[in-house]
Structure 1
Amino acid sequence: MASMRDADPKHLAALVAVAEYGTFAAAADALGFTQSAVSQQIAQLERACGTPVFDRPKGPRPAELTQIGLAVLDYARRSLDRIDQMDDRLRSMQRGITGRLTVGTFQSASAELLPNIVAQMRREVPEVDVRLDETDDLDELVRDILQDETDLAFTVDIADDPRLEIEVLGRDRFVVLAPADDVMATRSDAVATAEELNRSTLIGQPDNLTGQRMIDERLIGAGIRPDFAFRFQNNAAVQSMVRSGMGMAVMPSLAIDANDPGIRVLEIEPQLAPRVIQLIRRTGRTLLPAAHQFAAIAHASSAHLLAT
């Protein structure tokens, strides 16, 4: 049974060329084919249509489109236009200047790393649509990558996994936030010891968050028994409570506003192992060039904020 599904773009291009140039010979010259090749392409198109698309008068007179040929010509032009548009779109995507990029992120990366990264992406490739999906559940960030719901994700301390490609962006040290007028904050050494932290009221985040669990594990490993009087989801809320004199907080440096005059940033003695900030993708997944550009910008931006 005849069907236009059996026609391909070469047949449609031959139809348009014959209609525009008038003869099979002129169409062949324009397309760079032999006249017999164009004749074969039109014959294959007519088999797909189930009827002639040209009346072929004898002599030098040009081929004439049949009524069905006129209908197919309109379809051919629209189809070839859409193919050209798709070619343009694919070339743009391959050059990394268009497309959609979905990035998973967590709170402190969103606040400190992403503004510069996204701003530079918009300057360099404004047609790339960067979508962000934030959660402080690091396990969820990994699941979304493995399920292809996100293309890239910022993570912390993810162990080697053959399913993931992991790029280290840098290391983020842990510090103590103290009210600016606290006795420890006024000392010249700017250090909080484990003994002092054991005597202090601490402000943290909910202990069901993976980030807070990392902090708790490091504190316990350093001989610090954290006593949290207040817990807040938001980093800014934790810092605000410290500023108000309600206690101190142990936080990664990326999560704090060090320019806040109401707080003082102290080092921890003994030092806690820094957290490793990473950018991950699923192993074996082909991403748009824009994803590689995003990763390059992320590395450059992180170099200004994180230790190597």
Structure 2
Amino acid sequence: MGEVELRHLATMVAVVEEGTFGRAAVRLGYTQSTISQQVAALEKAVGGVLFERPGGPRPVRLTPLGAVVLEQGQGVLAKADELTEAVDRFKAGDGRIDIGTFQSVSNVILPSVIRRLRDERPACEIRLTEVPADPQLGRLDLLFYDRPIVGDLEVVKLIDDPYLLVARPGDFPDGPVALKHLDDQPMVGCHLPCDQVWLDQLVAAAGVRPRVVFRSPGNETILSMVRAGLGWAVLPRLALHGSGTRYDDRLAIHELRPAPSRGIYLHWAATASRSPLAERAIAIATEIAAEVSAEAGAGYHVGDADVYRGEAPLDE
């Protein structure tokens, strides 16, 4: 079989729907001889006659081969239309974007990113994936993580995210708390890979070794255990910013001195050309992160007291 062109298939469909070569020519804006030439080219490509031509004003009829070519050709044309639409949507920024994320980003940064993308491009498709402890970009367009990922990637640091001490009111005076007060104290932690970031920094900075008495991957569960008096917790500011602790009078939030910290990073493939949708998502995420950083840095309040701002840490 020879090469079949989409325009020849479209001409065949028009002839079938209009009934004659003449009416198909009017519909497509061609001359009747052009219609005849295109049908002849298609018949040559498939190696057989597609239409029975009774002549005169009587409508043409499909041959058995023509029926097969019509059925398959309509599917090919539909796929071509889908391809054209997908390319147009891609160029307009209304395609699909796959984003890898984790708890803090999902709760605080990503909802605002999604809202803005939806407002600007209502037809876009957004798919989210919760990343594992050792994430890989894979087929994702963008990946948020709290450490830079090694690989052929471009990375932008969105925000510095210090760890804060979560205790109960009265456990410490207002203001920062020295790391040494966590040594051998009961702590409520997240899963080990998450906790390891701040635990390693505590040990390196002050030789402090807290006792983790309970672990949960959920920040709300951790905070509930602190409220219950099971132990203190160390959580990143971004996690607390999205959890409603700012005005919770059952919790007190303190800076730690020296202050352990993490970063929030956004990754994408260095070798791939980015879609307009991905480009816009990166720009929006950068804007949102700056807004969140400014807002979160304003302080966490319990009642009328700003409990983690102070002139000097306790007994440093």
| Band the TM-score falls in, shorter-chain normalisation | 0.7 to 0.9
Find the counterpart in structure 1 of residue 181 from structure 2: 196
How far apart are the structure 2 equivalents of 1:296 and 1:252?
24
1:242 counterpart SS class: helix
Residues 21 and 35 in structure 2, CA contact (< 8 A), matched pair in contact too: no
Distance 1:126 1:40, change over 3 A: same
Q: Which runs of 5+ in 2 are unaligned?
A: 298-316
Find the counterpart in structure 2 of residue 270 from structure 1: 258
Amino acid at match of 2:186: T
Deviations 1:144-168 (A, max 9, x none): x1x32x3221112216x45111122
Offset at 1:179?
0.7
Distance 1:246 1:63, change over 3 A: closer
Find the counterpart in structure 1 of residue 219 from structure 2: 235
* Mapping of residues 43-122 of structure 1, within 5 Å: 43-54=40-51, 64-68=60-64, 71=67, 72-73=69-70, 76-77=73-74, 79-99=76-96, 101-122=97-118
Offset at 1:61?
6.1
Find the counterpart in structure 2 of residue 248 from structure 1: 232
Offset at 1:129?
3.2
Find the counterpart in structure 2 of residue 220 from structure 1: 203
Amino acid at match of 1:305: V
Instruction: Indicate whether 1:175 and 2:164 are aligned.
Output: yes
Residues 206 and 231 in structure 1, CA contact (< 8 A), matched pair in contact too: no
* Structural RMSD (CA): 3.2
How far apart are the structure 2 equivalents of 1:114 and 1:29?
49
How far apart are the structure 1 equivalents of 2:164 and 2:127?
31
Deviates more, 1:114-123 or 1:167-176: 114-123
2:292 counterpart SS class: coil
1:291 counterpart SS class: helix
Aligned length: 288
Residues 203 and 231 in structure 1, CA contact (< 8 A), matched pair in contact too: yes
* Mapping of residues 269-288 of structure 1, within 5 Å: 269-272=257-260, 274-288=261-275
Q: Which runs of 5+ in 1 are unaligned?
A: none
Residues 186 and 232 in structure 2, CA contact (< 8 A), matched pair in contact too: yes
How far apart are the structure 2 equivalents of 1:156 and 1:44?
60
Deviations 1:88-132 (A, max 9, x none): 233123312243x32221222222222322333344434333222
2:206 counterpart SS class: coil
Distance 1:15 1:114, change over 3 A: same
How far apart are the structure 2 equivalents of 1:77 and 1:136?
44
Distance 1:115 1:70, change over 3 A: same
Residues 49 and 63 in structure 2, CA contact (< 8 A), matched pair in contact too: no
Identity between Structure 1 and Structure 2 (%): 27
Distance 1:229 1:26, change over 3 A: closer
Query: Could you tell me the TM-score, scaled by structure 2's length?
Result: 0.76
How far apart are the structure 1 equivalents of 2:76 and 2:186?
70
Instruction: Indicate whether 1:154 and 2:144 are aligned.
Output: yes
